[in-house]
Amino acid sequence: MSLKNWDNKTWLSSKKYIQSFLIFLLKQIKLKKDSQILDIGCGRGKIIGTLFSKLRLRYRPIGIDLERHKDRDKRFSFKRIHAISYLKQNKKKYDLILIKQTIHFLNFNDIKRLLFLCKKSLKDGGKILIFTLETSNNEIPTFPLMKKKLRFSLNRDKKMIRFISKLYPKIKKRKFLFKVKISKNNYIKMIKNRYISTLLDLSSNEILKGINEIQLKYKKMLNFNDKLTCLIIDKQLKFLKGSLFRSPTKRAPLSRLIGI
C-alpha cells in the first residue's frame, strides 16, 4: 500500500499551510524568476505549483513521484519515474531540490546514494532542503497503536538525521512549525484515508478501533503544532567519504514511493 492521501484534503494541502511553508522555505534559499526546482516525492504538487505562481518562475518546477494523481496541480511538470533513475540520467542543474517528508522511507545506503546524486545536480549556490517530522515532543494526535508505531518511526528518524549529519558535518538545521486547527470529524476522515505512513500497515479493524479511541480521547476541535525538522545541504558542503556505520534495516516496500 502506498501513501496516496498525505496531501489530499488535509491541512498539508490547505492554502494557509502552503503559504506558511513557502514563507519558511524562501527564508532558507533565495530564488529568482529563472530558478529551477526539483521536488522528489511531490505528491499532487500543490507546494511547487503555488511556488511557480508566487515567484512567476520562467521554468516550470519538476516533480517526481511514482503515484500519478489525476487531480495533481497543473503548474509543474510531472514525471513518474524512480528518483535515483531520474538523477542518474539527469543533465539539468537545479537551484533547489526539495525532499519533503519522503526520505525516511529509504534505507540508509539509498539515502546516501540519493543525496550524492542530488548534490551533483545542484547549480553553484544551490541547496537541498530535506523536511522530516520533528522527532522530539511530536504533537500529532494518535490512538495507542498509532502512537507506538509513530514512536518507533521517529526513533529511526533520529538515527537517520544523525546519519545525514555525519555525511555532511556542516549541514544546517532549522525548525518549521504550523499551528493546526481541525475538527475531530475531519481528522478521523484523514485517519480512514491513512494520511500518514504509520497507518499504512494497519488492518481495517485496527483503524476502526483507533477511530473509536480518537472519538473518546479528543474534543470536537483538535489544536496542535505540526513540527518539521529542515536539513539544508549546500552545494559547497563536503561529503564525508568512507563508511560511517552499518545501515539499519531496509524499508523496501515503502521505498517504492520515490522509486528505489
**pLDDT tens digits for range 59-82:** 999 999 988 888 899 999 999 998
> Highest-confidence range of 121-125, 237-241, 253-257, by mean pLDDT?
121-125
Topology (CATH) of 11-180+225-255:
Rossmann fold (3.40.50)
Q: Residue 70 has what pLDDT?
A: 84
Q: Are 13 and 69 in contact (CB under 8 A)?
A: no
pTM of the model: 0.88
* Per-residue confidence (pLDDT) for residue 257, from 0 to 100: 39
pLDDT of res. 46: 94
Give the C-alpha separation, 110 to 193, whole Å: 28
State yes or no: pLDDT of 160 exceeds 80. yes
Average pLDDT for residues 43-50, to the nearest whole number? 94
